[in-house]
């Protein structure tokens, strides 16, 4: 039985499903291009929609918008305020289709079954960036995995329209 068939069937405990998925797809110890990834074989699930070039481009565009608000010369507290202000200007709450979301990190860690179980049993509003008419997870990769493992098709998200911000400020 293929993993997508098990997910559709929903007859498997989500923690068990994540563990089996990690064993099947997280079969290598990889550094994903940076030293601090510390992946352990079978203790992570690679996210196939991850594209490091696009993730870097999103970060650069957000940084450039924040610079327009004095980010560079601001204190850490002021930077938080700038980020909240800019994000709020271009955000809305939406139910987004899980299968349309793209990752901005290469994998999700699943090494601690208790932490994983808590995440699967908890619902969370995630943060998504709309960039070039695609949706990218900014915060909430574990929550998206958990929703998928619970068999959900959509998830609540705060969607920040980076396309709008770029057009307005850059």
pLDDT tens across 78-98, in order?
999 999 999 999 999 999 999
Please, what is the average pLDDT of the chain? 86
pTM: 0.85
CA distances from 64 to 67, 158, 167 (A): 5, 21, 12
59 pLDDT more than 80: yes
65 pLDDT more than 90: yes
pLDDT at 27: 80
1 pLDDT more than 60: no
8 pLDDT more than 70: no
Give the gyration radius of the chain's Cα atoms. Answer: 17
């Amino acid at each position: 039985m293929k993993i997508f068939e098990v997910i559709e069937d929903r007859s498997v405990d989500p923690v068990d499903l994540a563990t089996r998925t990690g064993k099947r797809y997280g079969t290598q110890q990889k550094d994903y291009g940076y030293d601090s990834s510390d992946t352990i074989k079978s203790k992570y699930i690679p996210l196939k929609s991850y594209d490091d070039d696009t993730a870097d481009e999103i970060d650069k565009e957000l940084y450039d918008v924040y610079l327009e608000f004095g980010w560079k010369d601001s204190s850490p507290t002021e930077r938080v305020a700038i980020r909240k202000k800019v994000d709020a200007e271009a955000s809305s709450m939406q139910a987004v289709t899980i299968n349309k979301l793209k990752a901005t990190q290469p994998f999700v860690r699943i090494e601690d079954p208790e932490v994983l179980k808590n995440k699967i049993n908890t619902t969370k509003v995630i943060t998504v960036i709309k960039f070039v008419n695609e949706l990218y997870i900014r915060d909430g990769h574990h929550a998206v995995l958990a929703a998928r493992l619970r068999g959900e098709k959509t998830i609540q998200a705060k969607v920040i329209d980076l396309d709008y911000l770029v057009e307005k400020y850059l």
